[in-house]
Structure 1
């Protein structure tokens, strides 16, 4: 008989009068996986996490951990621990006392607490520092103490509420890798909420993109990025050029569209069954657009045009060009190739661009 998932939500909802903070959310988190809930502020992800922790009760639906419903289980009896955004470490306590706090609450004897605290501190790379004051640590070390304090309790599920939000950029980038390493080290199920897509894409085995209390799509990072199921996911995950267009012809999923500026495009139906006359939201990733100084080089592309350089946004390997499209007058963002062939482009210079139809994803426009 197969083991139940570590966490399962069935039509879980949280309602405040006529407003649904979370509405009929269904998902499973397999044992030992890193599951992220990604969405903008106010989408319901913190409410969902608090229901899993037991701090809020759902209005309807069910929530199971290892096959057992948690609806009648208080927070302190659920097999979960939680890392908060601001960590909530006790500044007057030593590192060891912080990590062992939950064990003391459970009545574990002092020798066992000392042994378990040392063991978990070793696993997070902080061996031998139990007696030091917690305020002597760096931001990244405090993150590891907060995780150690949870992991010493051996939870079935570790909940993480935007724990990297207060860190500076360099430390946040380091801790993304460190968190993934720790999750693999402990082989514990992590449920992580964030509004930062980079955090979710780098660390997660599965990601749920949440919007207005619902899950828009659940999948691996590559699926969400390259095959977004909805216009919201296409616009929220990664960068994209966006157009509004009308379908002029449809043939086996291949579409001919005309934008609101009168520019002809060719793209693919992302699954909405678009037909002639429908209005669509159209997305093109900057890195799928090719550049040339010669217009004829891009003649075979399904979509092509020319524009003048508005600005160069230098960001190392992620540098971009902003072009003013000569045909439509609007801007188009293009990832700057790392070959060096275009690094000398200056403002006002003319350059040609093009991309294939299968890189143009089209979704039915809401209300269209």
Structure 2
């Protein structure tokens, strides 16, 4: 392991009787990285985080922080701190008392505690509020107090257990930016778990997508979005139109396919080694599809069709058009181009569509 690596897990496993919650997970987190573990409920991400924190013992493998094994090291002896979803702030204490709690438990000098508390509150943008009650703060400010309480202990790794889950949508969007700023400010390794792909994509340097106890892929947000390794990652990260199709011709990684509805497609093998006759799971991103009032603008594309507007889902810059073409692809979700040409689309309008072969990612369909 590199000296610049703060956290490393080697074939880490956790079982409960006959159920294997975490299965031979291996990864390393470089110093100063914002590392997210993204996955659906029940995939094992919380169990993994609790093993890193020391609240649960692995049944196999090893876990190292700064190159030192943490097996059998109790939570209070590990160089980590943890921010919980519900923050666990003490309502009867002042902001400063909350932030300094861990320092008092550690036995630090009282005057040193005050200096350190004031300094860390200043760094999280809450200078001068140490004497105020916690309940006088907004939800976002309480998040920063919870982080300050951890960071004042100068941990090597900060663990965050879905800390934005209890916030309303607008505050959650704001705190995604704030958390990334704080991580950069402290230059501390963050390990963040979430089921919300937007949180992971916006904040993370590296993301591990977890499914059924295993990591499906580790990479940057762009890696996972544009080059997903597996059909699970392709379907879980971002939005996609998904079809089942039979492979009719193979030329290297280039494929010809036909969907169950009879649409002829050209696509690319995502790495599963698809052969003629195989059934593929096909993914096409809504923003990869071009729209046109006539077939002139889409005629040169490999995958084309004509449909009718079934509905327009207006969401500002993220608006989508749902097209219906029963003879070809059934329902097709298309990102609405932000041009005046398509602003007045209404239900029933005829529209031409098309996309390039490299935007059709194909994986072997598992029965």
TM-score, normalised by the number of residues in structure 2: 0.99
Structure 2 CA distance, aligned partners of 1:195 and 1:27?
19
Q: In 1, are the aligned partners of 2:308 and 2:324 still within 8 Å (CA)?
A: yes
Q: Which residue of 2 aligns with 1:11?
A: 11
**8 Å contact from structure 1 (residues 306, 327) kept in 2:** no
In structure 1, the partner of 2:210 is 210
State how far apart, in whole Å, the 2-side matches of 1:173 and 1:242 are.
Answer: 28
Secondary structure of residue in 1 paired with 2:228: coil
What SS class does the counterpart of residue 122 from structure 1 fall into?
A: helix
Aligned to 1:121: 121
CA contact (8 A) 1:134 1:142 kept: yes
Equivalent pair of 2:180/2:203 in contact (CA under 8 Å) = yes
Look up the match of 1:299.
299
Q: Does 1:252 align with 2:252?
A: yes
Alignment of 1:51-62 (within 5 A): 51-62=51-62
* Cα contact 2:256–2:267 (8 A) shared by 1: yes
The total of aligned residue pairs comes to 367
Work out whether residues 57 and 72 of structure 2, in 8 Å CA contact, stay in contact via their aligned partners in 1: no
Distance 1:53 1:187 in 2: 20
Q: Provide the residue aligned with 1:321 in structure 2.
A: 321
Aligned counterpart, 1:94: 94
Deviations 1:67-96 (A, max 9, x none): 000002100000000000000000000000
Partner of 1:174: 174
Contact 1:308 1:326 in 2 (8 A): no
Sort the Cα spacing of 1:326 and 1:300 in 2 relative to 1 into closer, same or farther, 3 A.
farther
Aligned to 2:38: 38
**CA distance, structure 2, for counterparts of residue 48 and residue 2 of structure 1:** 22
Find the residue that maps to 1:141 and give its secondary structure: helix
Q: Deviations over 1:250-303 (max 9, x none)?
A: 001100001111211110000011000111100000000000010232111110
Q: What do residues 293-348 of structure 1 show as CA deviations (whole Å, max 9, x unaligned)?
A: 10232111110001110100001110000000253361000000012210101001
Q: CA deviation at 1:4?
A: 4.7
CA 329–236 in structure 1, closer or farther in 2 if over 3 Å, else same: closer
Q: In 1, distance between residues paired with 2:8 and 2:272? A: 29
The 8 Å contact of residues 305 and 327 in structure 1, kept in 2 or not, is answered as no
Q: Which runs of 5+ in 1 are unaligned?
A: none
Alignment of 1:267-286 (within 5 A): 267-286=267-286
For residues 303 and 5 of structure 1, the distance between their equivalents in structure 2, rounded to whole angstroms, comes to 45
Which residue of structure 2 lines up, in the alignment, with residue 109 of structure 1?
A: 109
Three-state SS of the structure 1 residue aligned to 2:52 is helix
Distance in 2 between the 1:200 and 1:216 partners? 15
Measure, in 1, the Cα distance between the counterparts of 2:218 and 2:348. 42
Q: CA deviation at 1:18?
A: 1.9
Equivalent residue number for residue 243 of structure 1: 243
* Mapped contact 2:259–2:265 kept (Cα < 8 A): yes
Q: In the alignment, what sits opposite 1:164?
A: 164
* Residue 220 of structure 2: aligned partner: 220
Q: Under a length normalisation based on structure 1, what TM-score does the superposition of the two structures give?
A: 0.99
1:136-157 CA distances to partner (integer Å, 9 max, x unpaired)?
0000000000000000000000
1-structure distance, mates of 2:351, 2:88: 53
CA deviation after TM superposition for structure 1 residue 5, in Å: 1.0
Q: Secondary structure at the match of 2:5?
A: coil
RMSD: 1.0
Secondary structure of the residue that 2:36 maps to in structure 1? strand
SS of 1:6's equivalent?
Answer: strand
CA–CA distance in 2 between the matches of 1:2 and 1:299?
52
The whole-number CA distance in structure 1 between the counterparts of 2:296 and 2:266 is: 18
CA distance in 2, matches of 1:178, 1:340: 34
Whole-angstrom distance in 2 between the partners of 1:329 and 1:194: 33
Give, in whole Å, the separation in 2 of the partners of 1:325 and 1:69: 58
- Of 184-193 and 292-301, more deviation after overlay is shown by 292-301
Corresponding residue for 1:145? Answer: 145
SS of match in other structure, 1:341: helix
Name structure 2 gaps, 5 residues minimum: none
